[in-house]
Structure 1
Amino acid sequence: MSQQVTALTHRLVSSPAGRIHLVEQGTGPLVLLVHGFPESWYSWRHQLPALAAAGYRAVAIDVRGYGRSSKPGNTGAYRMLDLVEDNAAAVHALGEQSAVIVGHDWGAAIAANSALVRPDVFRAMGLLSVPYAPRGGPRPSEVFARMGGDEEFYVSYFQEPGRAEAEIEPDVRGWLAGFFAALSADTMPAPGAPAPHFVSRGGTLRDRFPTDRLPAWLSENDLAVYAGEFERTGMSGALNRYRNMDQDWEDLAGVDGAPITQPSLFIGGSLDAATTWMADAIDAYPTTLPGLVSSHILDGCGHWIQQERPAEVNRLLTDWLASLPC
């Protein structure tokens, strides 16, 4: 593990599902950092010391199902509302009444819903890579099933328990290396090449991953940290988040179309499919995020934004945090 993360404090706190693993550095106002798929608290290794140096109490979690946090066996235990309550429980277990929440990838959706459902706890919200799109429209599984024509969208591919696990778990390290490379600016497939977000009928996701190089942001040591966690825990806890999207759609019917009004931040990458596919969601921010303070698209950046561009993301985060009311 790199020298910059050796001064961190690790702890377990109680949550509705059992125990949540937290990694903490610094004192001051609390900033809760929520990772995405297929990562862990470690994806915030560049932000934790930077936020601490700027005067914040920076805390990164292992989301339920990941790393050292609890991993319920029931697929239904990974509903969005459960993850929201995990975040609120973490804040209270740390002795705080409120926090700023920042999320990347799935963590961005979890952060957005945390701010939406628990505004009493989360006073501001930052989203990295995945824009906020209010609940609405058809059932998610119906939308994903229509994508790709003769190919299968990766979210649909992940739905059947055990299917993606059978692809990933025999070679976790190799699969993660390819997945990270497929969505990184310096190693992603060239324009016009088959998209890595889709699966050919009868194929696997990794069929389209780069196999000959790691992205510049990912060292062999970093890869070993990620792979070691999933080799120990398996992939089902992480994949179960995808398997609850229809249930989330039902659970969140009461906030259909609702805006998030707290002060907010968005940072996306210009080469990230999440940013380009959801351009309409970004355009709708005046309505859906009326409290938006700061919005940025980083030119030439891929999906793993806080790891690909740590210095730039750290500056944008700390500038935004400094602008928030105490």
Structure 2
Amino acid sequence: MSPAQSPAKSQLSPSPTGDLTHHLVPSPAGRTHLVEQGEGPLVLLVHGFPESWYSWRHQLPALAAAGYRAVAVDVRGYGRSSRPADASAYRMLDLVEDGVAVVRALGEETAVIVGHDWGATVAAHSALVRPDVFRAVGLMSVPYTPPGGPRPGEVFAGMGGDEEFYVSYFQEPGRAEAEIEPDVRGWLAGFYAALSADTMPGPDAPDPHFVTRGGRLRDRFPGGAAASGVRLPGWLDERDLDVYAAEFERTGLTGALNRYRAMDRDWEDLTPRFAGAPVRQPSLFIGGALDASTTWLADAIKAFPETLPGLRSSHVLDGCGHWVQQERPEEVNGILTEWLGALDD
């Protein structure tokens, strides 16, 4: 590849996980920060909210050891990637093209794309919109649902009755920032704990996905609003939490939250072209049995024969919450490498 296409090595501090290479590459966002390990076929790893490339710290060395070029990105709005000011810049088609730009900047023509949470939605739509680039897709926690149906903002606004669904809460500019940014570390600890198998509230506790009208999301976290009351889940130690908190304390939360604020734009962009469209490439799904994303979207999983006709491997992990690749890294790594190894069979 030409020097103009070559990824520029960034002047970042050493990775907390060791033998990894950090790059900044040009993308429609401006720049995309990525972390790379290994050689071989390219596997692009896309995180969700509120996370970063670091969410794939267990997968990068495992994929490298299995003979893959594993690359985890900071999605636009996060970490060391660019953070456009306008919420409309976080629409799905923009995120898809960021991924294409990363593949090209790394000198590759195609890649397997794997995503978790919002990253799963980005991965699915990347495969849908650019099948010429993304030859296979892995989804974690959030199953694929084809574009179409009612406008998302109206659907979420109608959920919850006397309470407010967290997506609507996040969609109001500045509102969630006012809750989170005075205590980023404490808020992240509570949010991660609320969706983890070993620390999530019991079935009789108020649902942490909803907000009391006029209240705050953190009031539903385990331990309540006090950061000192949060017990960290087993997958997250103090050092891991420091890594996440340091990035969001530096960047703020607006870039990350703008993904929620672009959802109606996605509906306008994608519905005319892709309403009801399946993703046909070879695919994988991994969810947690205790994750609301898996239980609420059970019908989407049942629809996989129509929506993911190339599905080769589907797993719902017993006793697992939302953060599947961090809660169960060895199991996920085994499933992922087996699926990748069988793609060309």
Sort the TM-score into its range (normalised by shorter chain): over 0.9
The equivalent residue for 2:281 is 262
Determine which of 237, 246, 253 is the counterpart of 2:255. 237
TM-score, normalised to structure 2's length? 0.93
Whole-Å Cα distance in 2 between the matches of residues 4 and 97 of structure 1?
A: 30
Which residue number corresponds to residue 82 of structure 1? 94
Question: For the Cα contact (< 8 Å) 1:5–1:49, is it kept in 2?
Answer: no
Separation in 2, partners of 1:142, 1:73: 24
DSSP 3-state at the match of 2:180: helix
Residue 246 of structure 1 pairs with residue 258 of structure 2: no
Match of 2:133 among 116, 121, 136: 121
TM-fit CA distance, 1:245:
0.4
Cα deviations by residue, 1:167-212 (Å, 9 ceiling, x for unpaired) = 0000000000000000000000001210000000110000010133
Residue in 2 that maps onto 1:219: 237
Q: Say if 1:4 and 1:49, in contact at 8 Å, map to a contact too.
A: no
| TM-aligned CA deviation for residue 297 of structure 1 | 0.4
Q: Does 1:168 align with 2:186?
A: no
1:301 to 308, 311, 320: 320
Query: In 1, distance between residues paired with 2:344 and 2:84?
Result: 38
Cα displacement (A) at 1:4: 7.5
Query: Are 1:146 and 2:158 matched, yes or no?
Result: yes
| Contact 1:183–1:303 (CA under 8 A) maintained in structure 2 | yes
After superposition, residues 96-107 of structure 1 pair within 5 angstroms as 96-107=108-119
Counterpart of 2:54, as a letter, is Y
The corresponding residue for 1:182 is 194
Letter in 1 for 2:34: L
Note the C-alpha offset of 1:325.
Answer: 1.5
Please list every run of 5 or more consecutive structure 2 residues that lacks an aligned counterpart in the other structure.
Answer: 1-12, 224-228
AA aligned to 2:306 is T
Distance in 2 (CA, whole Å) between partners of 1:274 and 1:171 is 26
Deviation at 1:96, TM superposition (A): 0.1
Out of 293, 304, 310, the residue aligned to residue 291 of structure 1 is: 310
1:64 partner letter: R
Identity among equivalent positions (%) equals 78
| Distance (whole Å) between structure 1 residues aligned to residue 172 and residue 202 of structure 2 | 30
Change (3 A) 1:226 1:3: closer
Task: Please give the alpha-carbon distance, in whole angstroms, between the structure 1 residues aligned to 2:16 and 2:87.
Answer: 36
User: For residue 7 of structure 2, what is the aligned residue in structure 1?
Assistant: none
Count of residue correspondences: 326
CA shift, 1:3, in A, is 8.6
SS at match of 2:262: helix
Equivalents in 2 of 1:163, 1:15: separation in Å? 29
**TM-score (norm: length of structure 1):** 0.99
- Measure the CA separation in 2 of the matches of 1:210 and 1:148: 20
Moved over 4 A (4+): 1-4
Does structure 1 residue 313 correspond to structure 2 residue 332?
yes
Correspondence for 2:10: none
CA distance in 2, matches of 1:151, 1:172: 24
In the TM superposition, residue 75 of structure 1 has moved relative to its aligned partner by: 1.0
Task: Tell me which amino acid in the other structure corresponds to 1:274.
Answer: S
Structure-2 separation of matches of 1:144 and 1:92: 36
Letter in 2 for 1:105: D
SS at 2:171's partner residue? Answer: coil
